[in-house]
Amino acid sequence: MATRWIDFTALKHQVSVKEVLARYGLMTGLHEKKPGRLVGPCPIHGGKNGTSFNVDTEKNVFHCFSECGGGNVLDLVMKIEKCSIREAGEKLADWFDLKFERSRRPGNLKPPKDVAQPATPTPSPPPRQTDGSGPNPPLERALKDLNPDHPYLVTRGLTIPTIKTFEIGYCTRGLMRGRIAIPIHDQHGTLVAYAGRAVDNDLATKAGKYRLPEGFKKSFVLFNLHRAKEHADRGLIVVEGFFDCFRIHQAGYPQVVALTGSSLSDAQEQLLLTHTDRLTLMFDGDDAGTKCVREFYARLRRRLYLREIHLEPGEQPDALSEDRIGELLS
């Protein structure tokens, strides 16, 4: 039997925390402290403190300051029922007779038939702001004259369509001189930085394998999310590095994002929770990759469906053949 698809983002906006509390008969001890704010003892763990539980009806969130923490309407059901996010979503959909439609077929991580074509074009970025707002303000201009034909890209197994999709190339001047320049966009598609991958071992030894601009906060970005989110109804695939992302995308899986590291930041966690209900974790077959998997399960196992792709010791996604990638992700 096919699994019913739940639009978790839509659900969080269609059902209120107040309605769910009323459904459980847990509104009795709460009172309106001021417009838009309910206060009372926590009905989840049965607390006695008369001000420990707060509901912001405008933002549609709750918080228990004693034991339970807080969250949205899905988190509330998960804490009360001690269930998964999918079970909470299905319960709410049944209670409030919600039906969700999607433009693409649900299902597994197999790529659609047309993904074998050159990769999805980058959406046009919104008008760039120049006020410096946000953790990573937009770049005023993109790098020019990058060489997409550098032999290093061929040795890494990248095809011309992949190189064009990600707009990468060898840089001969400036901060990224002697490196493959990799554009980094925020979730909206706005260019916020370039990463530079050294192609020469001497440069990598002296100045580091990767270079990022001073002040850039990579923990606020999931690489390739602005493209991958268009396919997030099939779940997102999470990898560690840029070239892991390139190769997985090239194999026909455009729903791939990269942490650009081996740990999950709070901002990245929120981006994932906002854009999908399930993740496939495909990290390097080493201690850092194993640790990253454990971190994901510790933080997200009750909020998202998680699937781990186990790689043998020493295996890395960017070195796998497309057949091997397809075998692992099928």
Domains delineated in the chain = 8-95 (3.90.580.10), 136-216 (3.90.980.10), 225-329 (3.40.1360.10)
Measured distance CA(63)–CA(68) in Å, rounded: 8
Measured distance CA(157)–CA(319) in Å, rounded: 8
Decide: 42 and 68 in contact? Cβ < 8 Å. yes
Measured distance CA(249)–CA(257) in Å, rounded: 9
- Strand 236-239 to strand 278-281: parallel, antiparallel, or no bridges (unpaired)? parallel
Question: Which residues is 239 bridged to in the sheet?
Answer: 258
Measured distance CA(289)–CA(311) in Å, rounded: 9
Which amino acid, residue 82?
Answer: K
Residues 57-116: tens digit of each pLDDT: 888 888 888 888 888 888 899 889 888 888 888 889 888 888 776 544 334 455 544 444
- Which residue in 95, 81, 105, 85 sits closest to 14, CA to CA? 95
Residues 264-314: tens digit of each pLDDT: 999 999 999 999 999 999 999 999 999 999 999 999 988 889 999 989 899
More confident residue, 123 or 322: 322
- Which residue in 200, 201, 182, 202 sits closest to 192, CA to CA? 182
Quick check: pTM over 0.85?
Answer: no
